[in-house]
Amino acid sequence: MSQRSKFSITKRKTPSSSKLQVILIKIQRTTRLNELLQEHVKEILMKVSPEITENPPMVRFMTNDLFRICYMTEDKLRDYPNEYLISVEKYLRSTRFTSTEKDKSSRHSKRISYGECSLL
């Protein structure tokens, strides 16, 4: 393994889901012999997921070994099938992500705004 391709996944600061997705894709492309490393990255990604970004407004999450993205702009929300949006909402509710974010925002006296869009 060359010096360039070495990286550390277990840092003090947890990497973002987008960085973990890039790592996961690189691992999948290189070889199937890295299954243990793949599983380790997936486990970390499941812990980090879901992630909401503001620019562009989107939700990134991983379910059933699939990395999913849901853009939260009005135009994009219209393009998604209703079943997909319902599954995203159920996922966010089942992971207690919404209540966690509410707690964080109330502690910091900031209101988290995801725009005028709603999932349903």
Please tell me the distance from the alpha carbon of residue 93 to that of residue 31, in angstroms, as a whole number: 36
Report the pLDDT averaged over residues 8-35.
73
Output the pLDDT for position 118.
Answer: 46
User: What percent of the chain shows pLDDT beyond 70?
Assistant: 64
Domain boundaries, the chain: 10-48, 52-109
75-118 residue pLDDT tens: 888 898 988 888 888 888 887 666 665 555 555 444 444 444 44
Q: Which tops the pLDDT comparison, 31 or 69?
A: 69
User: What percent of the chain shows pLDDT beyond 90?
Assistant: 0
Please tell me the distance from the alpha carbon of residue 111 to that of residue 101, in angstroms, as a whole number: 10
Residue 54 reports pLDDT greater than 70: yes
Output the pLDDT for position 106.
Answer: 52
Q: Please classify residue 104 by burial: count the beta carbons closer than 10 Å to its beta carbon, then call 0-12 exposed, 13-18 middle and 19+ buried.
A: exposed
What does the angle CA 23 – CA 43 – CA 30 come to, to the nearest 5 degrees? 30
